[in-house]
Amino acid sequence: MRFLVLGFFICCIETNVVAQCPIQPREASFEASRKTVTISYYNSGTRSVRGVQFLLTTENTGPNGQSVLANFDVRGILRPKQERTAVFSDLGEIAFNGIVELEVKRVSFADLSTWTAPHGSTCKILFAEQ
């Protein structure tokens, strides 16, 4: 019974933390040649978004435990409860070592306010190869 209560408590905490992220990354992938990156994301908040900054990161043995491989900025109005896909090409050489994740770093809203991901943000997903 204790494990059931503990599991429910952990699920509630994780749901609350994820709900704090106004943009939910849905899918992130690159084609086999690694020249094109596709990012699908969803505005789970109640305000219109005018820009999103994504970071492509990998774990390493550096002082902060990860390194940034690429930085993607998306501009354009995304209304609440809508999804969008962005495609980026001509990325140059990106070295994919280990686990690669796409993280929402910053969100700019239509009212000119911003949201920045807190340390240890859960606004990220694993990167996949198409």
pLDDT digits (tens, 9 = 90+) for 15-54: 334 448 999 999 998 877 777 889 999 999 999 999 999 9
User: From residue 112, how far is each of 17, 18, 47, 89, 97 by CA, in Å?
Assistant: 23, 23, 11, 28, 36
pLDDT of residue 9: 44
Quick one: pLDDT at residue 14? 40
Q: What residues make up the domain containing 14?
A: 2-129
**In the chain, what percentage of residues exceed pLDDT 90?**
45
The predicted-structure confidence for 99-126, as pLDDT tens digits, reads as follows: 888 999 999 999 999 999 887 777 999 9
CATH number (domain holding residue 24): 2.60.40
User: Given a cut of 50, is residue 95 above it in pLDDT?
Assistant: yes
- Tell me what pLDDT residue 47 has: 96
Six-digit token pair at 102?
A: 């796409």
**Any idea which residue has 């774990």 for tokens?**
59
Q: Collapsing DSSP states into helix, strand and coil, what is residue 10?
A: helix
Between CA 62 and CA 49 the distance in angstroms is 33
- Residue 62: pLDDT band by 50, 70, 90 thresholds? low
Q: Which residue type, as a one-letter code, is found at position 66?
A: Q
Confidence of residue 59 (pLDDT cuts 50, 70, 90): confident
**pLDDT of residue 76 exceeding 90:** yes
- pLDDT value for 22: 94
In one letter, which amino acid is 105?
A: K
Q: How many domains does the chain have?
A: 1
CB 107 within 8 A of CB 44: no
Q: What is the pLDDT of residue 118?
A: 87
pTM value is 0.76
